[in-house]
Structure 1
Amino acid sequence: MLGDYELLGRLGEGGMGTVYLARPKNGTALVAVKVVRLDLADDDEFRRRFRSEVERARQVPPFCTAEVLDADPEHEQPYLVVEFVDGPTLAEVVEQRGPLTSANLHSVAIGVATALTAIHGAGVIHRDLKPRNVLLAPGSPKVIDFGIARAMTATSGNTRPDQMVGTVAYMAPERFDTDAGTPITPAADVFAWGSVVTYAGTGKTPFYADSPAATAARILTQPPRLHELSRPLRGLVAHALEKDPANRPSARELLDLLISGERPAATAAALAGQPDLRAAAAEAQAVTGYAIPARAMAGATTTAPTLNIPPGLVGYDENSIVTVPISSPPMDTAGTAPEPPEPRRRWVFPLVLTLLTAVLVAGATIVAMIMRASDHPGRDGDTTQSVDDPVLGTPRIADALSGPGFWKATDTAGQGRCEFRDGMLAAHRDTNGVYRCSGPSDELPANLTIEATTRLETADSCAAIWFRFADQHGYQARICERNLYIGVHNRDGKGLVTTKRTFVLKDPIPLGTPTRIRLGVLGDTVTVTRDGAEVGVAQLTEPDFGVGKAYLGIFCERDAPAAGPYQASFSDVRIWA
C-alpha cells in the first residue's frame, strides 16, 4: 500500500522514480502511481516545487492527455497518481509496424496538438514530448508525462551547469541555449510536435544523424528532412520546425489548421470512426489553449538566442542517455564553413563547429543506459514561462481580438452583432439594450482577473464585461463615459441588470479613446482599475455566484434614445484564473 493505493505491480523506472500499476483502496479503476526517488524526497525545495507543479498539471483538461488524479507531496516518498492508459506507445507501434498510414498519422497529429492545446492552456509546458510519451489508446491518442518532471531538477543537482538534458532528437534549437535567463516557452513543445509527427509518418526524426551531437548540430544549422512526409502535413510540420520560436504557430493554431485546413478530406478520414478524438479536439478548441500565437508567447523579440554549447552534452535519444565529454580545448575553426547570409543565424556555425571539432579531437566517449519509456530525465530547472504580468504570470485566456479566436463574430437579428473591425471586436446594437458576444466556453473559477482594452464608439454606449456568469445570471461590469458600474445580471432572462455599485469617474472617458480596464475578483469583492489606477472596490453579495463564464458585449441604458446605433469595442483581453 502507498497512501490510499494498492500497488499491483511495477510498470517501469525512470529518472524521477518508479511507476506502479495500482488500484485505489475504495475503487476498481486502475491508475498509474509514480513514486519519487528517495534522494529527492529529502529535499524541501523539491517538495515545494513538486507541489506547485502538481497543482498546475491538475488544471490541464483531460483532452488527449493522461489525467492527473491525485498526489501527496508530503508523503515520506512523494507520489503522483495519473490515469492508467492501456495502449502501446507511438514509438513501439512505429518500431514494430513501420510508419503510420496517412489517416492514422493525421489523427495522431490532431491528438497530440489537442493535448498540447490543453497543456499550454493550463500554463504548463511539457518539455519532453516524444513518441514514447504518446500512447495510442482506444478512442484517441494520449500524451503522458507532462509538467511534473521539471520539479525534480530544481535542487537535486541532477543537472550540472556543464550539461543539458532532454530528448535530443525532439529538442528545439533554443533548448541548447544554457543561458539561465532564456526562458523555455510552449513553442519548444510545438517544435517537438513537428518532430513527433515526422517520426510517426516516416520512421525517422527530421534531423536524424548517427549521434546525439550530430543530431544537435543538424537541429541548429540544417533544414528538416521532410520529403518522405505526405501532404497536407508537410507544410504544417515545416512551420512547426522553424528555428526561431517566434515564427512557430501555437498549439491552438496547429489544432485549428489540422481540423479546418486546406484539405478537409484528410481531416474527415482522420476522424472517421473516432468520436472521442473528434469530441476532445472540439472541446480543446472551445475552452483551452492560448489564442495568441507562439511568437507572442516566446516574447516580443524575434532575435534568435545566443547558444552557449556546454563542454558536455547530455541528452536522450530514443532509447538511451548519452554523455559526450569534451576534454580538449576547442580548435580554431574560422573559415571552415561558410556562414549563412544575413540575417540568418550567424551565431550557430562557429559554436557548432567548435563542438563537433572538439568531439572529433577528443574522441567522444558515449555511455548508454537503456531507459524505460516512462523515463523522466532531469530538466534544466527553468521555472520561467511566457509571463504577461509580473504578479499574475501567464493568463489562462489571451486574445488580441483582431480576428476570430476565443471570441467569434455573431449576428443575432433584431438584437445585436459582434464583428471584427479596425483590429478590435466591436459589439453593436441598433437600439438600446444589452448584447453579449460569443466567447470562450471555459468554466472559470470564482477568483480571477479580467483585463481588456475598451473603446466607446457612440454616445450613451457602455462596454460590458460579464463574470461569474452561469445559467443566464451573474455579475456585470459596465464601462461608460462618466461612470463605471458593477451590477447583477438577473435570472429572469430579460437581460435586466440591477446596479450594486456606481463609481463616478473624475475624468470622463472620451469617445473613441482606448481605456484599459482590469477587474480583480477575489472572494466577495471586485477591485476595478482604469489605466493602472484604482477606481474602487465593490462588494459581491450573491452567495451562489461562483464558477462561471466571462463575456464581452455592449450595454446601453433603457432610458437612452431607442434609436442607436450603439457600439463599444474591445481588444487585447486577458484572463488570469
Structure 2
Amino acid sequence: MTGNHAPLRDGDPRRLGRYTVIGRLGEGGMGTVYLATAPDGVPVAVKVVRIDLAHDEQFRRRFRSEVNRARQVPPFCTAEVLDAAPDDERPYLVVEYVDGPSLAAVVRDRGPLSQANLHGLAIGVATALTAIHGAGVVHRDLKPNNVLLAAGSPKVIDFGIAHSPQATTGHTRTDQVVGTVAYMAPERFGPESSGSTTPAADIFSWGAVIAYAGTGRNPFGSDAAPVVAARILTQPPDLTGLSGPLRDLVEQALAKDPAERPTARELIDRLLTAAPAQSALARQPELLAAVEEAQATDVATALDGAGSPGTVAAPGAAPAHPAPPSPAAPSPGAGVGAGAGLSTDATTRFDDGAVPHVPAAAAPVAAAAAPLPVSPAPAGDGPTSGPPPAPPGPSSGRWGRVTLVVVAVVALVTSLTVAGLMYGVIPLPDRSPQAQSSSSAAPTSPAASPSGAADQVLFFDRLTSENRWQPREDKDNDTTCAFQNALVVTRQSVGSYRCPGARDQLTDFTMTVDVRLQTAASCAGIWFRFDTGGYVLRVCADGYYVLTHGVGGPSAVTTVGTYPFAALLGVNDLVKVGIVAKGPDMTFTRDGQPLGTYKDPTFDVGRVVLGIFPDPKTTADPPFSVAFTNIEVRVPTP
C-alpha cells in the first residue's frame, strides 16, 4: 500500500460501506479525501462530504445527479468513478486511486517538462477532456494539482462531481466565482456567467496548464488573484519558452472568445499530427490505448442554446460552443456556480481563492486608483509594468464592463490585504527590488560552499511567495504557514509543526536560511535528511539544539547536541543559519561561522523541512511565531 498519505485523526471514519479507511489524502472545501481499500484489497480514494453539507437536501439532490453523470465518464486518462453512496448519512464518492505526483509538484521540484513529455501530457489531458465533455460534464477546475503523472498515462482527477453545463442558479451562490483563478477562462469572471460554464472554459484551462508545464510559470503571471484575472481578461498570454505547433495550439486554446477555441477532440486530432506525438505515444502504451478509445467514440454530447446536455451531434459536426452571453444584466438572484470538487493533494491548499463580485457602479473609481498593466506578464517573478490602458468607451461591450469589475476587485482586495483581512489566502507578492531580481532557478556554475567543496546550487527560494514552499492553515493543530514578506509560521499552542515544502531527497548538501524569532520563547525548526524520521536543528534565542526525530518511535525526539550562543537572539533579530551535511558529519553555522559539529550515521538521506519547534517546557503564552527567508541549498557538483 502506498505511503503517500497522512494518518487518520480522532473522529475520522474507519469504515465507509464496504471500504476500509486507512489514511487521509487531503481536504477541500466540500469535505475530506481518504485512502481506503476495497474488499479485494485494491486501494481507492473516497471523497466524503462535510457534515453541514450532508444535511442540506438541495446539496444531496445535486450530488446525486452529478455523481450519476460522472459515472458515465469513460476512463480515458481520468481517475475512474467506481462507486458512490449519495444517500448515506455522510455521502461519499469512490474513485480510482492514482499513485503518482501532481503536475504541480513535478514542475515545482524538477522544472518544465521535456518536449516529448510535454506533448504526451498535452495529448493525455485533451483525451481526458474528450471523455469528460462527452459525458456532458464540465470540469471547471482543471489545474496542475488536478493532473497526476501516473505511470503509463497522465490522469485528470476531481471531475467526478463537477457541475454539468446546465447547472442552475438554484445550486449556486451569488458572491463567488469558483475555481483557481490562474487557470480560469475570461468568460467566467462576470456575473453574466452564472450557470453557463461550457466545455470551452476547460479548453482555456488546458492551454494554461500546458503552458505551465512547458515553461514552469503561469502564462498570465503569479501576482495576486485579481491582478491575474485582469490580465486574463485584457492581455495576451506570455508563451515564451513554447515553440512550434504546440505553441500555436496553446495560443488558440487561450483565445478570449470561447468560440475561437478548439474542442477537446480537435486538440487530440491536431496534437497527433505533430512530430513529437509518435515519440510520446511510443513510450506510453497506456496513453496510446486511451487515445485510440477516445478516437473510436463516434458521437459527442452537444449543448443546445439553453446549455442543456443530451443532444447528440453527428460525427464530424461543428463544435457546439455557445456564443458569449449577452451583456444584459443578470436576473435577480443569478449567481456563479459553486464547484463541488475535492482536492486530493496531500496537504490542505488555498489556491482556490474565490473572486468576489463588486458592483459595477464602483468600477470607474477603482479604475482610476488601480490601472491595469498592458504589457504581457514577464518570464520572471516580478510584477508587470507598463502604462495603463485607455478607459473602455461606451461601445466596449461586455468585456469592458467585466474588466472594470475586475479592476474594482483589484482595488478592493488590495485594501483588504492592507487592512489584514485576507488571512493569507491570496498573499500579495513581495514588490521590493530584491524580490523582483530574484530567481529560484539553480545556477549551473559551481561555487565554494562553507564546507570548502565546490558545490552547485540546487535551488534558491526567497520564501516571500509560494514557490517550493506552500501556505497552509491547519485549524486542527492551531498553526498557519503563510507568506508575509517571509514564510511565517505561527502556532497557537506548544508543539512542533512542519510546513509543506520542497520534496528533494538530499544526501550530502549545504544549506543556509535567514531566520527571525518573532515572539518570545519561539524556536525555529529545520528538519533535514527527514522522511518518516531524521534530524532537527532547533534555533532558539539561546542557541542551537540538534535532535533526532523518529529514533525509538515515529514521534520520538531526542536532543543529541547543544550549541549555546555567546549573545542571545532578540525578538526579530536576523540570524543566518547554516547546515553542512557530508556523510555522517554535520556542521552548524551561525552567520557563516561554525558553531558546532555532530557525527551520526543514522539518517543519510531525506528532505529539508521548515517549521516551528517551541520549547516544550516553556511557560510562555502563545502565539509562537518564526519567519524564514532566503533559503539556498547546494549539492556536490557531479
TM-score tier, shorter chain, comes to 0.5 to 0.7
In structure 2, distance between residues paired with 1:40 and 1:68: 21
In structure 1, distance between residues paired with 2:183 and 2:409: 19
- Name the CA shift for 1:79/1:362 in 2 (closer, same or farther; >3 Å): closer
Question: 1:354 — aligned with what?
Answer: 408
Flag structure 1 segments of 5+ consecutive residues without an equivalent: 373-577
1:171-203: CA deviation from partner (whole Å, max 9, x where unpaired): 001111223655110001000000000010011
In structure 2, distance between residues paired with 1:93 and 1:363: 31
Question: 1:338 — aligned with what?
Answer: 390
Could you tell me which of 119, 129, 143 is aligned with 1:106? Answer: 119
Once the two structures are TM-superposed, the CA of residue 295 in structure 1 deviates from its matched residue by 7.9
- Name the CA shift for 1:3/1:297 in 2 (closer, same or farther; >3 Å): same
Question: 2:28 — aligned with what?
Answer: 14
1:510-569: CA deviation from partner (whole Å, max 9, x where unpaired): xxxxxxxxxxxxxxxxxxxxxxxxxxxxxxxxxxxxxxxxxxxxxxxxxxxxxxxxxxxx
SS in 2 for 1:114: helix
Tell me if structure 2 keeps the 8 A contact 1:169–1:215.
Answer: yes
Tell me if structure 2 keeps the 8 A contact 1:64–1:114.
Answer: yes
Instruction: Within 5 Å, give how 1:193-212 maps onto structure 2.
Output: 193-212=206-225
Question: 1:269 — aligned with what?
Answer: 279
Could you tell me which of 128, 134, 140 is aligned with 2:147? Answer: 134
Amino acid paired to 2:71: R
Amino acid paired to 1:285: Q
Once the two structures are TM-superposed, the CA of residue 346 in structure 1 deviates from its matched residue by 3.8
TM-score of the superposition, structure 2-length normalised?
0.52
Once the two structures are TM-superposed, the CA of residue 357 in structure 1 deviates from its matched residue by 4.1
Could you tell me which of 269, 272, 279 is aligned with 1:256? Answer: 269
In structure 2, distance between residues paired with 1:215 and 1:83: 33
Alignment partner of 1:320 is 2:330: no
1:317-340: CA deviation from partner (whole Å, max 9, x where unpaired): 985354677799555347973258
Instruction: Within 5 Å, give how 1:253-402 maps onto structure 2.
Output: 253-260=266-273, 263=274, 265-287=275-297, 289=300, 296-299=319-322, 301=323, 319-322=350-353, 329-332=362-365, 333=367, 337-338=389-390, 345-360=399-414, 365-368=421-424, 370=471
Tell me if structure 2 keeps the 8 A contact 1:88–1:136.
Answer: yes
Bigger shift: residues 222-231 or 157-166: 157-166
In structure 1, distance between residues paired with 2:168 and 2:52: 11
Amino acid paired to 2:153: S
SS in 2 for 1:198: helix
Once the two structures are TM-superposed, the CA of residue 51 in structure 1 deviates from its matched residue by 1.0
In structure 2, distance between residues paired with 1:48 and 1:266: 45
Alignment partner of 1:64 is 2:95: no
- Name the CA shift for 1:52/1:324 in 2 (closer, same or farther; >3 Å): closer
Question: 2:205 — aligned with what?
Answer: 192
Once the two structures are TM-superposed, the CA of residue 30 in structure 1 deviates from its matched residue by 1.1
- Name the CA shift for 1:137/1:305 in 2 (closer, same or farther; >3 Å): farther
In structure 1, distance between residues paired with 2:317 and 2:102: 27
What's the RMSD between the two structures over aligned residues? 3.7
Tell me if structure 2 keeps the 8 A contact 1:11–1:19.
Answer: yes
Question: 2:110 — aligned with what?
Answer: 97
- The sequence identity of aligned pairs, in percent, is 57
Once the two structures are TM-superposed, the CA of residue 305 in structure 1 deviates from its matched residue by 5.5
- Name the CA shift for 1:331/1:111 in 2 (closer, same or farther; >3 Å): same
Question: 1:31 — aligned with what?
Answer: 44
Could you tell me which of 233, 243, 252 is aligned with 1:230? Answer: 243
Once the two structures are TM-superposed, the CA of residue 356 in structure 1 deviates from its matched residue by 3.2
Question: 2:130 — aligned with what?
Answer: 117
- Name the CA shift for 1:311/1:71 in 2 (closer, same or farther; >3 Å): closer
In structure 1, distance between residues paired with 2:278 and 2:328: 43
Tell me if structure 1 keeps the 8 A contact 2:179–2:352.
Answer: no
Once the two structures are TM-superposed, the CA of residue 256 in structure 1 deviates from its matched residue by 0.8
